[in-house]
A and B are shown apart, each in its own frame.
Chain A
Amino acid sequence: DIQMTQSPSTLSASVGDRLTITCRASQNISSRLAWYQQKPGKAPKLLIYKASSLESGVPIRFSGSGSGTEFTLTISSLQPDDFATYYCQQYNSHTFGQGTKLEIK
């Protein structure tokens, strides 16, 4: 099984900050990586697919990069609506990272 490791597990930040979340795969997954945002009590929402492609309707402050085993999600200028939990997912065999909870500092 392909293991996905996200870091950090928790991140405290302020509105306007630029931040990066990292996701590492235990083996090469090419660009088969997605990022999701989840708010409490809601289903996850797809933000990024194919490592760097922005899902329709997602604000351009979200961006993704990487290939192979190392990937990042960057939010260029945090907005109040962005405080949530973020998950990466490899979709060769569909496993998720453990999540990164983004909190208000």
Chain B
Amino acid sequence: QVQLVQSGAEVKKPGASVKVSCKASGYTFISYYMHWVRQAPGQGLEWMGIINPSGGSTSYAQKLQGRVTMTRDRSTSTVYMELSSLRSEDTAVYYCARGTEYSSSPFQYWGQGTLVTVSS
């Protein structure tokens, strides 16, 4: 069965960077796009970006351009999301979510979420 297992909670200071991992299993890793979505406390869902695990190409939400980097490791079937220059507004639960073999597709599977807290 498809599983997306994310790394644990993080506490970071403003200005620091955080790197969250998402390990995939139960399917052919390189065949499906992966997305990152975040949710600030009590708020809605915000799409952050997409990575093609096959070739590594990425596309990011304009709001986060320059601060977010998504990468993948094909040998471990893991995708990563790194967010830099953290500020308090980046405090949120971060989710990875699997799409389909097409970049424009709904998110059928989700990770359990990783809470990132930015606080001095």
Other-chain contact of A94, B35, B95, B110 (Cβ < 8 Å): B35
Provide the residues of chain B in CB contact with A32, threshold 8 Å.
Answer: 104
Whether A43 touches B113, Cβ cut-off 8 Å, given contacts A1-B62, A96-B47, is yes
A-side interface mostly: loop
Task: Please provide the chain B residues from 78 to 99 with a CB less than 8 Å away from any CB of chain A in the complex.
Answer: 95, 97, 99
Q: Decide if A96 touches B104 in the complex (CB within 8 Å).
A: no
**A 1-18 to B, binary, CB cutoff 8 A, 1 in contact else 0:** 100000000000000000
Q: Do B44 and A96 touch across chains, with their CB atoms under 8 A apart?
A: yes
Chain B residue nearest to A43 (CB atoms) is: B110
Q: Complex formed: what's the CA distance from A82 to B8 in Å?
A: 29
| Chain A residues in 8 Å Cβ range of B110 | 43-45
B108 at the interface (CB under 8 A from A): yes
How many residue pairs link A and B with beta carbons under 8 A? The number is 48
Q: Is the CB of B107 within 8 A of A92?
A: no
Complex Cα gap A49–B50 (Å): 19
Given contacts A1-B62, A46-B106, A91-B104, are A97 and B35 in contact (CB under 8 A)? no
Contact size range, A: 20 to 34
B47 touches A44 (CB 8 A): no
- Inter-subunit contact B44/A89 (CB<8 Å): no
Contact bitstring A90-105, B, C-beta under 8 A = 1, else 0 = 0111111111000000
Answer whether residue A34 sits at the interface, using C-beta atoms and an 8 A cutoff. Answer: yes
Q: Contacts A1-B62, A43-B95, A94-B50; is A87 near B45 (CB within 8 Å)?
A: yes
Residues of chain A within 8 A (CB-CB) of B99 are: 91
Q: Kindly state the separation between the CA atoms of A92 and B102 in the bound complex, as whole angstroms.
A: 11
- With A and B bound together, what is the CA distance between A72 and B58 in angstroms? 31
Say if the beta carbon of B75 comes within 8 Å of chain A. no
A96 touching B46 in the complex, CB below 8 Å, given contacts A1-B62, A43-B111, A43-B113 = yes
CB-CB nearest 5 A-B residue pairs: A43-B110, A34-B106, A94-B47, A49-B106, A96-B45
13 A–B contacts, CB within 8 A, in A order: A1-B62, A32-B104, A34-B107, A43-B97, A43-B110, A44-B45, A44-B95, A45-B110, A87-B44, A89-B107, A93-B47, A95-B47, A96-B47
